[in-house]
């Protein structure tokens, strides 16, 4: 089975499995555990113009079937990424997606403009949906007008493919997705984490240093599928799905909901090699449910489509 995926503006993935931003560092960290050349792509940790310090620890907390995090987008900044990480990424044969963040529209634009000159960057993922930073991030992600302006600013400085990452923390996420598409987004990725919190009984305090955090892992999969389904049925561009994926069956569910590729995050912490076994399993699982090739499954669960029951 041909696992390659063709996305807008010539973005071609070897297979539909991309490492999700923030769970896979900048690439080299997992190189001793995963053959990076076998991945469809890597979405690197969010990059801002200047270094960000991030939130106070503790930054992770386990919940039933889930993980809460409040990393707060700590990152070494654009210059360090270019000097230290791009040379490594140049040695890897997989799609590299630069996840970008900023406090202001101008900061998003700066990162996109500079990285647009880097041959090794194959696409951008504009993160307007991180629940762990007070200014920037989420404030753009919950306001369609702001989402439009951020996307437009990025679009204006790059010819590379641009996807905008949407938050699930609102009733109608497709409104923001549509605004991003109106501003020139080539793709939508969804979902980022769900805002939540935990209490540490021993300390009688919020468990996370950042008080609230973002929930990921299998616990969020039903929410993610709903958001992907709704967006895919309303916007015209390809959707990259994620949220709680642990198996090739999960990937197929996202495809049926309308995704054309997926990202895999939290499960990597437990099983670093899981993305590779998912890739290996895809043909078998696709056939088991009656699909002969990848695209055939895209959106097949939508009620307006004539689905053949497997």
Ligand X SMILES: Cc1cc2nc3c(=O)[nH]c(=O)nc-3n(C[C@H](O)[C@H](O)[C@H](O)COP(=O)(O)O)c2cc1C
Chain residue whose CB lies nearest ligand X? 22
CB of 261 to other proteins, least distance (A): 21
Near ligand X by CB under 6 A: residue from 18, 34, 42, 67: 67
Closer to other proteins by CB, 153 or 263: give it. 263
CB 261 within 8 A of CB 20: no
Q: Is 189 left (phi over 0), alpha (psi -120 to 50) or beta?
A: beta
Told to check if 55 binds ligand X by CB under 6 A, we report no
Work out what residue 77 binds among ligand X, other proteins, none; the CB cut-off runs from 5 to 8 Å by kind. Answer: none
- 130 belongs to the catalytic site: yes
161 vs 244, beta carbon nearer ligand X: 244
Q: Which is nearer to ligand X, 21 or 169 (CB)?
A: 21
Q: Output the smallest distance, CB 272 to ligand X, in A.
A: 14
Check 130, 133, 225, 248 and give the catalytic one: 130
Is 170 an interacting residue with respect to other proteins (CB under 8 A)?
no
- Hey, which residues between 116 and 145 contact ligand X (CB under 6 A)? 127, 130
Complex with ligand X: residue 41 or 265, whichever CB lies closer? 265
Instruction: Decide: is 254 part of the binding site for other proteins (CB under 8 A).
Output: no
CB of 303 to ligand X, least distance (A): 26
Q: Please give the positions annotated as active site.
A: 130
């Amino acid at each position: 089975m041909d696992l390659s995926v063709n996305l807008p503006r010539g973005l071609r993935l070897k297979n539909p499995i991309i490492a999700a931003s923030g769970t896979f560092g900048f690439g080299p960290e997992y190189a001793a555990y995963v053959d990076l050349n076998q991945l469809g792509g890597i979405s690197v940790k969010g990059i801002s113009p200047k270094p960000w310090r991030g939130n106070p620890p503790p930054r992770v907390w386990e919940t039933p079937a889930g993980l809460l995090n409040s990393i707060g987008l700590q990152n070494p900044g654009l210059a360090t990424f270019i000097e230290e990480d791009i040379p490594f990424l140049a040695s890897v044969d997989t799609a590299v997606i630069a996840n970008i963040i900023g406090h202001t529209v101008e900061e998003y634009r700066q990162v996109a403009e500079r990285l647009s000159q880097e041959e090794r960057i194959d696409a951008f993922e504009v993160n307007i949906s991180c629940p762990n930073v007070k200014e920037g991030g989420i404030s753009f992600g919950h306001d369609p007008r702001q989402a439009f302006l951020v996307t437009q600013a990025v679009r204006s400085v790059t010819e590379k493919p641009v996807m905008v990452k949407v938050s699930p923390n609102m009733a109608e996420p497709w409104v923001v997705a549509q605004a991003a598409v109106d501003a020139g987004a080539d793709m939508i990725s969804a979902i980022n984490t769900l805002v939540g919190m935990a209490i540490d009984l021993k300390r009688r305090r919020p468990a996370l240093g950042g008080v609230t955090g973002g929930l990921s892992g299998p616990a969020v999969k039903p929410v993610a599928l709903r958001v992907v389904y709704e967006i895919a049925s309303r916007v015209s561009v390809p959707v990259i799905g994620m949220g709680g994926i642990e198996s090739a069956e999960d990937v197929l569910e996202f495809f049926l909901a309308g995704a054309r590729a997926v990202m895999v995050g939290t499960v990597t912490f437990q099983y670093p090699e899981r993305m590779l076994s998912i890739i290996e399993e895809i043909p078998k699982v696709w056939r088991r449910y009656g699909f002969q090739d990848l695209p055939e499954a895209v959106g097949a669960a939508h009620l307006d489509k004539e689905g053949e029951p497997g």
